[in-house]
Amino acid sequence: MEKSSKIYIAGHKGMVGSAISRNLIEKGYTNQVYSPYPPFDLTNQIIVGEFFEKEKPEYVFLAAAKVGGILSNNTYRAQFIYENLMIQNNIIHQSYKHGVKKLLFLGSSCIYPGNCPQPVKEEYLLTGELEYTNEPYAVAKIAGIKMCESYNIQYGTNFVSVMPTNLYGPNDNYNLETSHVMPALIRKMHLGKCLENNDWNSIRQDFKKYPVECVNDTFTDSEIMDKLLKYGISTNPSPITQHPAPSTKHQVTISLWGSGNPYREFLYVDDLAEACVFVMNEVDFNDLKALRPEPCALSPEQTVISHKSGTDIKNTHINIGTGKDLTIKDLALLIKEVVGFKGQLNWDNSKPDGTYRKLLDVSKINRLGWKEKIGLDDGIKMIYSKYSA
């Protein structure tokens, strides 16, 4: 990309899109174009076509998507598959029609089978069943990868797909109904700490910034407490029924989904943005096509993966992550320490765990010349400092 190149970031208001925008501005790329937001509808074929015809971007970062955690993925299954497919189809196809020089499509690590050997290599795609709770979202993202590959093969485009691990950072989603595990834990621990200290001023500030199911800072203490209880944050004694003095401390318990035993890998979103700009500038589809998968040593119990040595062009996407993970339980304890929450954590085994482990093999992106910079401890401290400010 030239510094004056016209760059379109689809999803520029989101966590990933805004991080890419910041990174580009820092590097001197000032000719960015954004789709109007709202009421611009990326699922509308006509509207997207008219936008590309008018703006004619040279480079496209496709970061727009409908995203969420286990609860929202499993609840809004039809919306997740429909909206993501439509967004991808429209932007990828219009990029081809209007001669975009290069497109970068952002997928998700949930594209891989639920029982993948660890760490997960790019060539494990489509070798087994997906994890059920996020299957619709994963199917849509897989379709995006294959669409980019197929357009490259048939039309000679230069569309590259990257698969980030679990992300966190500025502009994350802290909605307790739809958030991913990291922001949900940070918010629950923060609210738990506020309840411990009977700090209703801070609780109301939190609900003002992030209403919970339309309940905001204007609602009564009892109504706010009902929402906290719904999302597993409880006290003994109740701060509502006991009418304690402001200095009263409470015993607070936070109930968390699942066993806490699954492992997760996390990447700070600014690191992802750096990786995306690196790939856009340095890695073309022909480079990825030339990279052959390394032989895989699998036990008899694991999925059998076929490595064809012929002319098949597949699995050209790139994993982006840290190559390091930890259990959800250890993550919760780390966040608890950073936030300063002193109460108890209870794990609700009746709730789903999701995929047990999905540690990405990041050897491909490392060989291409990129590695993350921000460690998990530092990243969480940075995020909580911004959240609680």
Is residue 137 annotated as a catalytic residue, yes or no?
Answer: yes
Round to whole Å and give the CA distance between 347 and 54. 52
pLDDT band of residue 218 (cuts 50, 70, 90) is very high
Paired tokens of 236: 């003994």
- Over the stretch 128-185, which tens digit does the pLDDT of each residue have? 999 898 899 999 999 999 999 999 999 999 999 999 999 999 999 999 988 889 999 9
What is the chain's mean pLDDT, rounded? 91
Quote the pLDDT of residue 303. 43
Examine the pLDDT at 197 and tell me if it is beyond 50: yes
**Where do we find the tokens 């700009």?**
277
Q: Name the phi and psi angles at 357, rounded to 5.
A: -155, 140
Round to whole Å and give the CA distance between 372 and 281. 17
- What's the farthest any 2 CA atoms get from each other in the chain? 74
Quote the pLDDT of residue 294. 53
Quote the pLDDT of residue 37. 62
> E strand or H helix at 326, and its extent?
strand 326-327
Please report how many Cα atoms fall inside a 13 Å half-sphere around the Cα of residue 120, on the Cβ side: 34
Catalytic pick among 59, 96, 112, 137: 137
Read off the amino acid at residue 220. Answer: T
- Over the stretch 12-58, which tens digit does the pLDDT of each residue have? 999 999 999 999 999 999 999 987 766 689 999 999 999 999 999 99
Cβ-contact 328, 261 below 8 angstroms? yes
Quote the pLDDT of residue 245. 52
Examine the pLDDT at 365 and tell me if it is beyond 50: yes
Examine the pLDDT at 300 and tell me if it is beyond 60: no
Quote the pLDDT of residue 34. 83
- Over the stretch 323-337, which tens digit does the pLDDT of each residue have? 999 999 999 999 999
pLDDT > 70: what percent of the chain? 91
Which domains can be identified in the chain, with CATH numbers? 7-172+265-323+357-374 (3.40.50.720)
Quote the pLDDT of residue 292. 61
Quote the pLDDT of residue 246. 53
What phi-psi label fits residue 369: left (phi over 0), alpha (psi between -120 and 50 degrees) or beta? Answer: left
Quote the pLDDT of residue 115. 87
Predicted TM-score of the model (pTM)? 0.88
Length of the chain: 389
- Over the stretch 241-297, which tens digit does the pLDDT of each residue have? 554 555 567 799 999 999 999 999 999 999 999 999 999 999 999 999 887 655 454
